[in-house]
Amino acid sequence: MYKFLLCMRYLKTRWIALASIVSVTLGVATLIVVNSVMDGFTTTMQDRMHGILSDIVLETRSQTGITQPQGYEERIRARLGDRVAGVTTVVTLPAMMTFQRNGNSHTQQINLIGIDQNTFASVSDFSKYLLHPENKKQLDFLLKNNGYAVERERMQPSGWEYRAPMARYQKVVQQRLRNAQELEQERFEQLQQKIQEETQASDGAQADPVAALMAGPGIQIANNAQQISQFDSEKEQRTGIVLGINLGSIRGREPDGTVQDFFFLRPGDDVQVTFPNAGTPPRGIDEQFTIVDFYESKMSEYDSTFAFVPLEKLQHSRGMIDPQTGAGAVTSIQIKLKPGNDLNAARDALRDEFPPTHDFVEVRTWRETQGPLLAAVQLETTILNILLFMIIAVAGFGILATFFMIVVEKTRDIGILKALGATGMGIATIFLGYGVLLGTVGSGVGVVCGLLFVWKINDIARVIEWITGREVFDPTVYYFDTIPTIIHPYMLVWVSLGAILIAVLASVLPSIRAARMHPVEALRYE
């Protein structure tokens, strides 16, 4: 009984001992904040990835791809039964996108993905990330009139509303260019004639190399102009392409500091895509596409490389269609399972069905396809946790020192208690209990502080921004508007238990010392 009473009294009269566990409190609070933010990032990222990626992917690296996808799909459905929620076939290949802007040619590397617009949305949240409301319902690769992300001023106008005036403007420019060229040609011919007359007059006929050179571009431009005129881009569109939004925009700041996306491409613009065909050796193919929508998953890696085009178009252009059967080859088959099914089990079943040695098909879960990234985040979290627990361990040494001081200070009390018949165990219990109490108070306060911090983290970030004048959480970098946080209850439990354990461990040595103290010497202690 006296143990509890004395514990409480020591705590009550020595609040200063709490100072020694402020470090525990801080450590616990920091651990909670760091874990919540890391978990928030990871979970948001995983959710997004998982939304973008299907559950399981069958992939081949062969040039020709999977030539009979229909048969594969049947085998998959047979093997997985009613676990399957959706299957789609995809052609993925690296490609290059080129477009003209301000008279300059811009080139970007992209992941060209040929998708079946009817089934692709069934294996991922693909349509959720498109901008036009109609495309969100069903993508048809046709340019819409307008209505693309109306809340984004910088993207307006887009669609036909943008393409038609642009095309008209281009026509006028082309016309003027042509007129100018014709005029130039005329003047050039006159000049040439004049020179010819002069040279004939002086030292006989001799072709002028400068004149031959200058004649070249003029003809070429004329040819180009002819080609454009065959396709009326004011009324027609080319094959649709859905671009990752970062392929057509740059995130930056307005002069007033607000974060904005600046669009150099919009739905309605044409881009040129160069990709290899399925032949051996592969040859580059050029195709013109019209941007029909943007894809915004907020994962910058995907948003800055993905470009979706209709599957058949890609198969056709690449020569992946078997002339006899008419079946198009694909490079991967993506599968979505019904919720609650074990991905790894399904993967193993498929690996069994399609042995890698036989079909050169690789079966992976979405996690495995993103393995290195997820592993890196996991590693980061682990290291941070270890470091922060080191901080708490350091705090533990602080507690150890404080407790030794308290035991020394209480030497006489210990002697008195022993003279009154307290056992060594009883005395040890006082100080152990004191440690538990301090640890509990410290980690309790830490948990509360940590939770408050996490709860108000965005406000706190704003306050810090206001004080330091520097952005803590830069949305141009992170693609999150607010700091995502997730609090796992079990994390709270193990963090606070860990802190209490450290406080208890730190009080073990002083407790043993107190228990071993000789009563007479303790009583004689001044």
Partner 1 sequence: MNNPDTTLHPHIPAPHMLDMDSKTASPYRVIRPEDTESLRTKRSANAGQLDPMITASGLVKSYRKHKTVVPVLKGVDFVAPKGRVTAIIGQSGSGKSTLLHLLGTLDQPDGGEIAFDGQRIDCLTARDRDAFRNQQLGMIFQFYHLLPELTLLENVLAPAMISHGLFSYLRNRRMVVQRAKELIDMVGLSHRMKHRPRELSGGEMQRTAIARALIANPSLLLADEPTGNLDHESGQIILRILRQLNQDHGLTIVMVTHDESIAQQCDSVVRLKDGKVERLPPTPLRTTSDAIRGG
Size of site (CB under 8 A) for partner 1: 26
Nearest Cα neighbor of 117 from 145, 143, 136 is: 136
Task: Read off the DSSP letter of residue 324.
Answer: T
Tell me how far, at minimum, the Cβ of 12 lies from partner 1, in Å.
8
For residue 67, the tally of other CB atoms under 10 A from its CB is 17
How far is 272 from 290, CA to CA, in rounded Å? 9
Tell me how far, at minimum, the Cβ of 431 lies from partner 1, in Å.
14
Map residues 362-401 to x or -, x wherever contact with partner 1 holds by CB under 8 A. ----------------------------------------
- Is 4 near partner 1 (CB under 8 A)? yes
Tell me how far, at minimum, the Cβ of 349 lies from partner 1, in Å.
59
How far is 497 from 333, CA to CA, in rounded Å? 47
- Is 16 near partner 1 (CB under 8 A)? no
How far is 514 from 430, CA to CA, in rounded Å? 9
Tell me how far, at minimum, the Cβ of 7 lies from partner 1, in Å.
10
- Is 13 near partner 1 (CB under 8 A)? yes
Nearer to partner 1, 424 or 475 (CB): 424
Tell me how far, at minimum, the Cβ of 519 lies from partner 1, in Å.
5
Contacts to partner 1 from residues 420-479, by CB under 8 A? 420-424, 426
For residue 222, the tally of other CB atoms under 10 A from its CB is 14
Please list the alpha-helical segments (H only) found in 204-299.
Answer: 209-230, 245-248
How far is 331 from 90, CA to CA, in rounded Å? 6
Tell me how far, at minimum, the Cβ of 3 lies from partner 1, in Å.
8
Map residues 400-419 to x or -, x wherever contact with partner 1 holds by CB under 8 A. ------------xx-xxxxx
Nearer to partner 1, 26 or 514 (CB): 514
Calculate the alpha carbon distances from 110 to 246, 274, 303 in Å.
Answer: 11, 10, 10
How far is 391 from 399, CA to CA, in rounded Å? 13
Task: Read off the DSSP letter of residue 151.
Answer: T
Contacts to partner 1 from residues 39-78, by CB under 8 A? none
The pair of structure tokens assigned to 14 is 């020595």
Tell me how far, at minimum, the Cβ of 6 lies from partner 1, in Å.
7
- Is 518 near partner 1 (CB under 8 A)? yes
Ramachandran region of residue 51, left (φ > 0), alpha (ψ -120 to 50) or beta?
Answer: alpha
Task: Return residues touching partner 1 (CB under 8 A).
Answer: 1-2, 4-6, 9-10, 12-13, 412-413, 415-424, 426, 518-520, 523
